Amino acid sequence: MWRVGTVVALHDETATARTITLKVSDWTGHLAGQHVDVRLTASDGYSAVRSYSIASAPNSETRIELTVERLRDGEVSPYLTQELAVGDRLELRGPIGGWFVWRTQQTEPIQLVAGGSGIVPLMAMIRSRVSACSAASFRLLYSVREPGAVLYRDELEALSDHDHSVSVTYAYTRVAPKDWPRPPGRIDAALIANTTWPSNLAPTCYVCGPTSFVETATGLLSASGNSSDKIRTERFGPTGDRQ
Amino acid sequence: MGIISRGFSGRHGATDLKLPPGQHLTTDFPVLSAGPTPHVSLDRWEFRIDDGTDVLRRWDWKSFRELPTENITIDLHCVTRWSKLGTSWEGVSLDTMLADVKTDASYALVRSYGDYTTNLPLNDLMNKQAWIAFQFDGKDLAPEHGGPARFLVPHLYLWKSAKWVRGITLMHHDRPGFWESLGYHNCGDPWREQRYSGDE
């Protein structure tokens, strides 16, 4: 039931987020959007478990990537982002979750809305679209505190500039780059109207982020005409659940 | 014991003794829902108990609020591993709502605004085990936490405590609800750590 993953690579995405690549020899595959439970065990037997979204696309390999954002006062995320070393072994369960997933058979337009590290499961969907050569049209609205907090920036830029497979809109909440057209602030109705799929195209919307962000984003998507059965959400709270 | 995580000590706390296996304490009240938060106005709110064919009982908000209420203090255990202890609610016991219902059904499918469902054995809803709550901490229940009214079935993982409830269908045969169809355990007893399908 608990699988063992060996850390084969570590990559710092930002000052506080790290991607962990694990080789899991008995991995049976996953869907984009699913998560795993990770268990740490102290030498006295005490253990702590948290859920982390899978960042990598489903593939035939037995490797998965998790991107973990370090939480102040976190119990597990500081260990995973600061202590963990290549060669260490981690216990994990999963993949888990069958609702907040994008399947490669889906052909409808896809609207992704990320708040902060809520980008992680959405990135798995984008990568899954690329690796499956899907023709589904993706848009991503990515709300993030400041430019330095953007995860996967180079990869997202390559995808939107060269491949046009996903169009990306950044919305900065605290600090925007110089000459950015929109002042820093939370997402609003105008941004939703100007950058997301028109609701008459009946996109499936995936919204992931902190609870207050998800409440705001889903409210705006509903108000702009998206039906609630086309909006799927994944929320995480300050306790560090579901990063 | 699992693999020792080199250099991990974690947080130990005496209060952890009260928690089901694999849970950790939170003082926040995190929200976990599959979709947008429905906003249900009280003048169109209703709650029905049916048997799949006929409506057996029906309340609008006014008649629901005329039912006798109870103040309860309970522990919450979410399958995403947080637990919150000693939460205070006001609600109507399912014993009260099922009192005049004659049925030989064994299972219940709880239905919500927003089309969420969850299934339970009918026995889990009786004998002071389940409530429909409309107040949390002395205040009307906020929409993101399930207002105007939500189920509380505190002896099971919190996904069984459906938010935004609008009815119960009584059934002779069990039928999986939303999360129960998507990889989560059919029963969801936190003390037996019945999180995912495949757990014993």
- Mutation to test the A interface, candidates B4, B5, B116, most A Cβ within 10 Å: B5
Helix or strand or coil: residue A47? strand
> Is-contact A226 A203, C-beta < 8 A?
yes
To the nearest whole Å, the CA of A89 is away from the closest chain B CA by: 7
A81-107 pLDDT, tens digit per residue, is 999 999 999 999 999 998 999 999 999
Q: How close B32 gets to chain A, by Cα (Å)?
A: 6
pLDDT of residue B13: 59
Tell whether the model's pLDDT for residue A60 goes beyond 80: no
Summarize the confidence of residues B76-89 as an average pLDDT. Answer: 93
For B96-116, letters b (16+ CB in 10 Å) and e give: ebbeeeeeebebbbbbbbbeb
Q: How far apart are CA B36 and CA B148, in angstroms?
A: 15
Minimum-distance CB partner of B30 among A45, A99, A241: A241
Q: B5: distance to nearest CA of chain A, Å?
A: 5
A 10 A CB-CB count for B44 gives 9
- Please, which pLDDT band fits residue A242 given cuts at 50, 70 and 90? very low
Handedness of CA A51, A57, A61, A63 (dihedral sign): negative
**Which of A44, A103, A211 best probes binding to B when mutated, by most B CB atoms within 10 angstroms?**
A211
> What is the three-class DSSP state of A83?
helix
Q: Which of residues 36-75 of A touch B (CB under 8 A)?
A: 37, 39-43, 45-51, 75
- From A205, which residue of chain B is nearest by alpha-carbon distance? B35
Q: Give the count of Cβ contacts less than 8 A between chain A and B.
A: 121
- Residues of B in Cβ contact (< 8 Å) with A45: 1
CB atoms B10 and A75 under 8 Å: yes
Residues 27-56 of B with CB under 8 A from A: 28-38
pLDDT at A240: 38
pLDDT for residue A237: 62
Q: Do B1 and A41 touch (CB under 8 A)?
A: yes
The pairs formed by A154-158 with CB atoms below 8 angstroms and a separation of 24 or more are A155/A123, A156/A126
What pLDDT is stored for residue A241 in this prediction? 38
State whether B81 and A47 contact (CB < 8 Å).
no
d(CA B181, CA B88): 31
Q: Does A174 touch chain B (CB under 8 A)?
A: no
* pLDDT higher than threshold 80 for residue B102: yes
Residues 6+ apart with CB under 8 A from A193: A224
**ipTM for the whole complex:** 0.82
Per DSSP, the residues of B46-73 read EEEEE-SSSEEEEEEHHHHHTS--EEEE
- Asked if B159 and B118 touch (Cβ cutoff 8 Å), the reply is yes
Q: Which among B8, B35, B37 has the least Cβ separation from residue A79?
A: B8
Interface test with B, best of A241, A242, A243 (most B CBs within 10 A): A241
| B81 shares contact with chain A (CB less than 8 Å) | yes
Going along chain A from its start, the domains and CATH numbers come out as 3-96 (2.40.30.10), 110-236 (3.40.50.80)
Would you identify the CATH topology of the domain B43-192? Sulfite Oxidase; Chain A, domain 2 (3.90.420)
Mean pLDDT of A94-121: 96
Which is more confidently placed, B109 or A166? B109
Task: Please answer yes or no on whether B36 and A233 come within 8 Å at the CB atom.
Answer: yes
Chain A hits for B81, CB-CB cut-off 8 Å, are 37, 49-51, 241
| Interchain pair A218, B36: CB under 8 A | yes
Using a CB-CB cut-off of 8 Å, the residues of chain B touching A236 are 30
User: What does the alpha-carbon distance between residue B168 and residue B99 come to, in Å, rounded to a whole number?
Assistant: 14
> Which has the closest alpha carbon to B64: B50, B87, B43?
B43
Where do the H-state alpha helices sit in B58-134? 61-65, 94-98
Give the model confidence (pLDDT) of B143-193 as tens digits.
989 999 999 999 999 999 999 999 999 999 999 999 999 999 999 999 999
